A and B are shown apart, each in its own frame.
Chain A
Amino acid sequence: QVQLQESGPGLVKPSETLSLTCSVSGGSVSSNSHYWNWIRQSPGKGLEWIGYIDFEGGTNYSPSLRSRVSISLDTSKNQLSLSLTAVTAADTAVYYCTRAAATIRNYFDPWGPGTLVTVSS
């Protein structure tokens, strides 16, 4: 079955760029049936959808993060990536990659285990 694994620096300085990668196994990011999403969860808080990318590289981002976020695909490595610029302490969170069906009725499944990113000098 499809498995996802996030990776990247666990510590980022304020004002710098957060960069994470999600490696996908058991399935292809080139699938025209799915959206590949990033979701984050701040410590002790709820879940926030960041955005998704589809197999053609089309993207959709949360309005609250749109000015700072970018999601890209590397089909040769079967990976997706997240870039978040000008980070602050408020961006400290566990970041998850997850898949959703590109249909009218979708849900997030499966999820990667998540990776904690701390923004601190």
Chain B
Amino acid sequence: DIQMTQSPSSLSASVGDRVSITCRASQNIGSFLNWYQQKPGKAPKVLIFGASNLHSGVPSRFSGSGSGTDFALTISGLQSADFATYYCQQSYGAPPWTFGQGTKVVIK
């Protein structure tokens, strides 16, 4: 299975900050990398697909970058609605499709 490792596991930030979360794959996955946001008690929602494509309806302050094994999710101008847990997920080739362990963004 392809292992996905996110860092940091948690971070504290203030409204307006620029925040970046990284995700590393255990092998080359091209650009087959998706990002999700999950709020407490809710299902995850897709933010970014194909490493850098913004899903419909997602604010433009979210952006994704990277290819191969190293990826990043950046939030430019953190809003109160963005305090949540973020997960990366690889969709490279045949299953099993795997997730990172998550990064919790909390208010400083």
Binding site for B on A (CB under 8 A): 46-49, 51-52, 60, 62-64, 96, 98, 100, 105-109, 111-114
Contacts and interface: CB of A to CB of B under 8 A. Distances in A.
Q: What is the predominant secondary structure among interface residues of chain B facing chain A? A: loop
A47 B96 contact: no
A48 B46 CA distance: 16
Nearest to A37: B97
Which range holds the interface residue count of chain B?
20 to 34
Given A52-B95, A106-B91, A107-B34, 17 more contacts: A47-B102, A48-B99, A49-B95, A49-B97, A62-B95, A62-B96, A63-B96, A96-B43, A105-B50, A105-B91, A107-B46, A107-B49, A107-B91, A108-B34, A109-B46, A113-B42, A113-B43
B43 A46 contact: no
